[in-house]
Amino acid sequence: MRFRRFILLAFGLTLLTFGQPAGAPKLGADAPTMGYKEVPEWPTQVLNAAGTPGGPWNFIQVSGVAVDAQGHVLVLHRGAHPIMEFESSGKFVRSWGDGLFSEGKVGAIAQADRVPGHALYSAIYGPAGCDSCGAHSIRVDPEHNIWAIDAPGHVIYKMNPQGKILMQLGHKGVSGAGHDTFNLPTDVAFAPNGDFYISDGYAGNRVVKFSHDGHYLLEWGTRGTGPAQFELPHGVVVDAQGKVYVSDRETHRIEVFDSTGHFLTEWPVLEAVSALFMTKDQHIWAGAVLLNLKGEVIGRLPNGTAAGGHGVAASDSGDVYLAQLSGKVQKFVKQ
């Protein structure tokens, strides 16, 4: 008991124990630092009219990041030109997406106003909104399509590599928990057979599975802190065997399911993890910490990054990108 109290005091966090297995990951400063180095001032600064560097990029809040088939980096931020594309070197390529995302934003419900068994978050519209503030997550699927989540817009977009919308799930501005409605959705992940999963979300408490062509298949989840329950299913990835990994950010854990939503296990963590990414060699970046598929910590990125960012992605060469709501993208390269 004394040891547990020491851990809680040392990290200033509450460790939620749901039948914690031996060797469960502790995503904090105790994870060994891996051989990565942060690239300073990524992406490359543009030149001003005088021909000198014009200063850091004016990202508002970087909520997501993805790497496409060319190795180009897609940066999703909450401002004008919300989707920005860069070469891996940091050179700007193009931007698009104005008008795609809602101007609402996700806000936490004040502690005094929370109702047990109900969502901890809600959408805020009107004067409290901002330009493209709905931009939440961006992914590239195995067929090279680009997917983007508008959380307060309650919609998910599938686009081709040129940015043309191929599919829309949900109805913009309409919340719900039906087969074609969502409630502040957060992320999307892709199964080996082309099916995909939506984590739903800030006000929802479920994961929804769809066929490759967008037909509803099944869903699972109820509100709570037990197995197969969610308070905030924020990130989702799928491994080569079809297992589904969901970061339930509010309860500080990663839950693991089979392809039908059957609960398999959970990995309690010391820090709230927003972002998950499955690497080509079947490891999971949970923010800035790398795990194997047994939930064992391999290591973390340097420079004090522990919980990591709001979004994370890795290139085939092993470069890692963290999307930070502070308004920047961190790039790390292997040494």
Q: Quick one: 279 exposed, middle or buried, by C-beta within 10 A (0-12, 13-18, 19+)?
A: middle
pLDDT at position 320 is: 97
Give the global pTM: 0.90
Tell me, what amino acid is at 80? A
Q: What is the pLDDT along the chain (335 residues), one digit of tens a residue?
A: 433 333 333 333 333 333 344 444 455 557 788 999 999 989 999 888 998 888 889 899 999 999 999 999 999 999 999 999 999 999 999 999 999 999 999 999 999 999 999 999 999 988 777 789 999 999 999 999 999 999 999 999 999 999 999 999 999 999 999 999 999 999 999 999 999 999 999 999 999 999 999 999 999 999 999 999 999 999 999 999 999 999 999 999 999 999 999 999 999 987 889 999 999 999 999 999 999 999 999 999 997 554 579 999 999 999 999 999 999 999 999 98
Using DSSP bridges, classify how beta strands 216-220 and 222-223 pair: parallel, antiparallel or unpaired. Answer: unpaired
Q: Check residue 28 and give its pLDDT.
A: 55
d(CA 138, CA 313): 10
Identify the residue whose tokens are 């790398």: 290
Domains of the chain with bracketed CATH: 2-334 (2.120.10.30)
